[in-house]
Structure 1
Amino acid sequence: MMRELVYYAAVSIDGYIAGPAGEFDAFPVEGDHMQHLNARFADAVPTHIADALGIERDGTTFDTVVMGWNTYAVGLPVAPSPYRHLRQFVFSRTRSEADIPGEHPNLTLTDEDPVAVVRRLKAEPGASIWLCGGGALATVLAEEIDRLVLKRNPLLFGDGIPLFAPGAYRPRAFEEVATTAYESGVVVSEYVRRPSI
């Protein structure tokens, strides 16, 4: 069975995953939603944060993460290998290894076509592949996304980086398989791609 590409992301109620300059600190990191998410998606917690909080990761949800350069660069220079417990693929046509400070275990910086890389990864054995962001990469990989897990936060950004960057209009059908509303106001919804007819 081919493994899934899962777009798991926090999003404002007006559809932004970050502010205009990549800000994401408005998203709540406390509340009743956090325990559930840290348990179910422990593999998506940055390695240094999970270590500090004692969050166990076993690689059964995700064993690989893909992201664009801007998403990756949020942690620099503190975390040059933010998810070193996973195989990390960072896509950039303009950056080189010289732009990554220090050591960066399990990280591959590539200018390869993201669709080709993801298709190759899907054909390998393993757990799901996490699409961490950003919106431009999500648009490029839209046809490869098998599952969406959206953490909708009770915030209006008004502007910023959208969940999907503008692209060619082509409706894609997904089916809601789970939604949980938390007292924090965060609503987590999960969708799977409907098979093409």
Structure 2
Amino acid sequence: MRKLVYYMAASIDGFIAAPDGDGDVYPISEEFTAYASAEYPETLPTHVRPMLGIENAANVHFDTIVMGRNTYEPALRIDVTSPFAHMRQYVASRSLKESPDPAVEIVSGDVVAKIRELKAEDGDLGIYLCGGADLAGQLRDEIDELHVKTYPVVLGAGIPMFSEKYGAMNLELMSNRVFDNGLIFTTYARKR
């Protein structure tokens, strides 16, 4: 069975973005950018990959991405309708009725059922849960791993990792690495 992995950036107080949704609050790390380009190239948008010299990089962890409408919106604002063309793309949205691109499938119904369908497929690569908090909350019980880039930033308020009522998720540490700007990249597996 394929895994659903929530791969996200967060402040040390647990927010994935500022209250207005701005995710540009995290300091850039050349060391982490090089690491991500080599180890997680598929998590970098297709239109950014040529600037990093990885336009033809093979997918290492994921062949499918699922994101919420608010996560998809910044790409649409710059006329990028297929931001992750190197993967299958799903956007969970109740408001988008039609996809602006044939390579992007809109999931307006039961997103949990869609994820279970994708997880049941054959394949070695996983499903990248890109965000946001509402979608992560809906898919909380389906998440198999968390890959968290924790930046040395305190936001005080913002969009949390999960928008949902209380419920403990027990995790097991898989790996932990500190980068030059204080970013701590931690991977966890869900204890089932």
TM-score calculated relative to the size of structure 2: 0.93
Match of 2:50 in 1: 51
Match of 1:3 in 2: 2
Deviation readout 1:9-52 (Å, 9 max, x if unpaired)? 01111111111111011212333222112211101100000123
Q: CA deviation at 1:117?
A: 0.5
Pairwise CA RMSD: 1.4
Evaluate the alpha carbon distance shift between residue 190 and residue 40 of structure 1 in structure 2; reply closer, same or farther with a 3 A threshold: same
Match of 2:163 in 1: 165
Deviation readout 1:117-175 (Å, 9 max, x if unpaired)? 000001112310000000110011011000000000011111111111132x2212110
- Amino acid across the alignment from 1:24: G
Moved over 2 A (4+): 28-31
> Which secondary structure does the structure 2 equivalent of 1:47 belong to?
coil
Q: CA deviation at 1:80?
A: 1.3
> Which secondary structure does the structure 1 equivalent of 2:162 belong to?
coil
Which of 81, 103, 111 is the matching residue for 1:106? 103
Match of 1:83 in 2: 84
Give % identity: 41
Q: Which sections of structure 1, spanning at least 5 residues, go unmatched?
A: none
TM-score calculated relative to the size of structure 1: 0.91
Q: Which sections of structure 2, spanning at least 5 residues, go unmatched?
A: none
> Which secondary structure does the structure 1 equivalent of 2:48 belong to?
helix
Q: CA deviation at 1:60?
A: 3.4
Match of 1:154 in 2: 152
> Which secondary structure does the structure 2 equivalent of 1:75 belong to?
helix
> Which secondary structure does the structure 2 equivalent of 1:143 belong to?
helix
- Amino acid across the alignment from 1:95: L
Q: For the Cα contact (< 8 Å) 1:19–1:159, is it kept in 2?
A: yes
Distance 1:111 1:29 in 2: 34
Match of 1:70 in 2: 70
Q: CA deviation at 1:105?
A: 4.4
Q: For the Cα contact (< 8 Å) 2:39–2:60, is it kept in 1?
A: no
Distance 2:9 2:37 in 1: 13
